[in-house]
Amino acid sequence: MATKLPASNQFNIRDQLSLFSDAADTELGDNLREESIDDRNDYTHTPGIQDPGTLETPSPDDGREPGKGESASAGGFRSTGVNGEPAIRVDGGSEDGLPIRVGDRDEGMGVPPGRGGSAPVVVRSSDPRPAPTLARDLRITPAHGIGEGGLKQKAQANLAAIRTLKNIEAENRPATPEEKAALVKYTGWGAMPNAFASQAPREWQSVADELKDLLSADEYASARASTPNAHYTSPEVVQAIWHAMERFGLNPGAQILEPSMGVGHFFGMMPESLYPGTRRTGVELDSITARIAAKLYPDSSVQAKGFEETALPKDFFDAALGNIPFG
């Protein structure tokens, strides 16, 4: 509980008044002069500033914003970067922001002890840089016909997508809009185990034969292992989830993670109002599926590995969403 000091313990009030004006020479100041502690006792209580005349004038450089003749310190937390996003330096590297291939090394969150170096270090920077627009990433429209057709039609669309992917990779180039229209129809092999049967039914025999010709041994094994759980989310569900995210307060400029992305339908149906400054990272276990997603969304980061094996920065993403398989 605070105790009010007697008048005898008041400290040089005239000096206090001089901080604001010349009021110490006014009638109020003259009346208070008699209350000096020198006439009363030897107790001195001196909180705060004793001699305002000794205050140093701040240097013109003090408080200067980083980026105006001053570089932000490596450990500084002066700014959150562009659009309020956190900035990242991985392994002490010089690049701020989530690296385009972050997570392609065995270090950071989600890696068992002893498998890699130290976790990424989060730093802040105010260095200006243009916000990504995801301009090359596919925007899915009703014209793409996502999810249309029966199992046999989807199997044929899968084969066409694999052939398209192999041609693009052989020529080491980005996908054209026409090729993206073929790639986006890849639905995986959920509910189509007949395509991998050792003795395939007659109606599946041509699909089974072409799969063996198109895929390497590892790709074939990975595709066959996906048959219990490679079921892609319908556009209606994807759109409803995005609508919910907007109502929850997700804004442009966010860092978004999809832990099990398939070929990226959540990326392709993200509302365009969220595009400015937003960055997206997706993870997909199946090799063919992840490589298709990377061709469809070259301005996003796609990791072709299991989520538990993916090194990602801690406390970095603003939202994680998707419809993960429970197989």
3-state helix, strand, coil in the chain (%, to 5): 35, 5, 55
- What is the reported pLDDT for 104? 44
CB crowding 176-191: b at 16 or more within 10 Å, else e:
eeebbbbbbbbbbbbe
Q: Could you tell me the maximum CA-CA distance found in the chain, to the nearest angstrom?
A: 113
Domains of the chain with bracketed CATH: 8-36 (no CATH), 144-225 (no CATH), 235-320 (3.40.50.150)
DSSP characters over 161-208:
HHHHHHHHHHHT-PPPHHHHHHHTT---STT-GGGG-TT--GGGHHHH
Three-class secondary structure of residue 258 per DSSP = strand
- Cα-to-chain-centroid distance, residue 60: 36
- Is residue 286 within 8 Å of 261, Cβ to Cβ? no
Q: Token pair 């392709």 is at which residue?
A: 268
Question: Token digits for 67?
Answer: 């980026």
Per-residue pLDDT of the chain (327 residues; tens, 9 = 90+): 454 544 444 445 455 444 444 444 444 444 444 444 444 444 444 444 444 444 444 444 444 444 444 444 333 333 344 444 443 333 333 334 444 444 444 444 444 444 444 444 333 334 445 455 799 999 999 999 998 899 999 999 999 999 999 999 999 999 999 999 999 999 999 889 999 998 999 999 999 999 999 999 999 999 998 888 777 888 999 999 999 999 999 999 999 999 999 999 999 999 999 999 999 999 999 999 999 999 999 999 999 999 999 999 999 999 999 987 665
- What is the reported pLDDT for 54? 45
- What is the reported pLDDT for 75? 37
Q: What 8-state DSSP symbol labels residue 71?
A: P
Q: Token pair 């094994």 is at which residue?
A: 221
* Contacts for 241 with CB less than 8 Å, ≥ 6 apart: 266, 321, 323
- What is the reported pLDDT for 279? 96
- Is residue 53 within 8 Å of 83, Cβ to Cβ? no
Q: What 8-state DSSP symbol labels residue 217?
A: H
- What is the reported pLDDT for 41? 42
Question: Token digits for 19?
Answer: 């901080």
